[in-house]
Structure 1
Amino acid sequence: MAASTFPALLLAAMLLLMPGAEAVWLELPPSGTKCVSEEIQPNVVVLADYAIMYESHPTSHPTVAVKVTSPYGNTVHHNENATTGQFAFTTSEAGNYLACFWIDSAEKGSGTSLNLDWKIGIAAKDWDTIAKKEKIEGVELELRKLEAAVESIHHNLLYLKAREAEMRTVSEKTNSRVAWFSILSLGVCIVVSVLQLWHLQGFFRKKKLI
């Protein structure tokens, strides 16, 4: 019993250290746009389901439009006149992915509510389908989840290490530029001081003060 419980507990602990599923409740106004963003690494699977919750606004039944864009502005999903929908993609760029929703029907009422279930990485995998396809269950399935979690955490650490190296390079370049600017400023001050001294000497000589 303890042996079968340990992998599940370890998996739960690992999942707390990494991005996974996130459920968001959005209140869409009659006019305007509501957006949700998530910073995601490259080569990560993203799966999201969205649906209008008519229970909160029973008198109106509008439809919504959704647009998901990558950090560089590329459209990865676009849908109109929807009440429910899903988008799934594998990220090719690192950065903030933006999902925007707005009411696009003539019937807007007082707005509507939308539920967004956003899953990233290991949380986006359909483990039931994988278990049936590969005929695994129990401890073996939990170990497979642990393996996927460890791999995802490893990729996260490599990504953070690369970002740290990139930020260090930018910081070093900035410090180098500041140092050169300081030297240049000091040189300009010295030249200006010498010119002022030369000008004052000439002025005093003309006035026969020296």
Structure 2
Amino acid sequence: MAENMISRPRLVAVLSTMVFLCLTGNNNFVPLAEAIWLTIPSSGTKCVSEEIQNNVVVLADYHVIDDANPQHPSAISARVTSPYGSNLHHNENVTVGRFAFTTSEAGNYMACFWLNSNQQPSAGTTLSLDWRIGITAKDWESVAKKEKIEGVEFDLKRLGYVVQAIHDNLVYLKSREADMREVSELTNSRVAWFSIMSIGICIVVSALQLWHLTLYFQKKKLI
């Protein structure tokens, strides 16, 4: 009987390995960084935004792909702003660029791109934007070299960051839900008071009209 029993440390190790394999086998649980493609209009600005919570690392690389003139692609300008309009990145007359920052406030961070006005616009101007946030912006190769870890230990280390990122995101969503609920309750309270005031005003106006008509009829000796 005792020979068939599994020790507690071994059981924990087996369960941890199974959970790790399940999570890494399903990409839906692990956030991935994917490049997006933007077509830059000949006039105007193309913008993308991302809602990011506070104290999150953001890293992005972008480069121009000009199908009409691949050897000499059109130059663009780029600007990244915070939710309150602060400039986090500004670059002009470039075909390749990078921006990196750590968010200091939660909200929508916006990146805008446009063609320079001093050149002939190309109809095939496309921008590749590789936008990474949180754990996807982390240099895992440097982490592995610095901490001298590899293999399963490295994967478990990374999985720990993934779990922490998911937890932080859930906490952020919970706080947003609480804020929205507070706003909703405040709005409902104001609507209720406005309804009561409207009914009160209608009653007062009706009473004044009745009083005025009574005086008018008495003056005319109709009643």
Q: TM-score, normalised by structure 1?
A: 0.90
User: How far apart are 1:101 and its partner, in Å?
Assistant: 0.8
Unaligned ranges ≥5, structure 2: 1-13
Contact 2:115 2:121 in 1 (8 A): no
Residue 183 to residue 124, structure 1, CA distance change in 2 (3 Å): same
User: How far apart are 1:61 and its partner, in Å?
Assistant: 2.8
Letter of the 2:197 partner, please give it: L
* Structure 2 residue 199 is the aligned partner of structure 1 residue 186: yes
Letter of the 2:49 partner, please give it: S
The partner residue of 1:161 within 166, 169, 174 is: 174
Relative contact order (C-alpha < 8 Å, sep 6+): which is higher? Answer: 1
Same amino acid, percent of matched pairs? 61
* Structure 2 residue 67 is the aligned partner of structure 1 residue 24: no
Contact 1:8 1:142 in 2 (8 A): no
Residue 57 to residue 8, structure 1, CA distance change in 2 (3 Å): farther
Letter of the 1:139 partner, please give it: V
Q: Which residue of 1 aligns with 2:136?
A: 123
Residue 163 to residue 17, structure 1, CA distance change in 2 (3 Å): farther
Q: Which residue of 1 aligns with 2:158?
A: 145
Q: Which residue of 1 aligns with 2:69?
A: 58
User: How far apart are 1:91 and its partner, in Å?
Assistant: 0.7
In the alignment of these two chains, the number of paired residues is 207
Q: Which residue of 2 aligns with 1:204?
A: 217
User: How far apart are 1:140 and its partner, in Å?
Assistant: 0.9
Q: Which residue of 1 aligns with 2:82?
A: 70
SS at match of 1:128: helix
SS at match of 1:67: strand
Q: Distance in 2 between matches of 1:48 and 1:30?
A: 23
SS at match of 1:108: coil
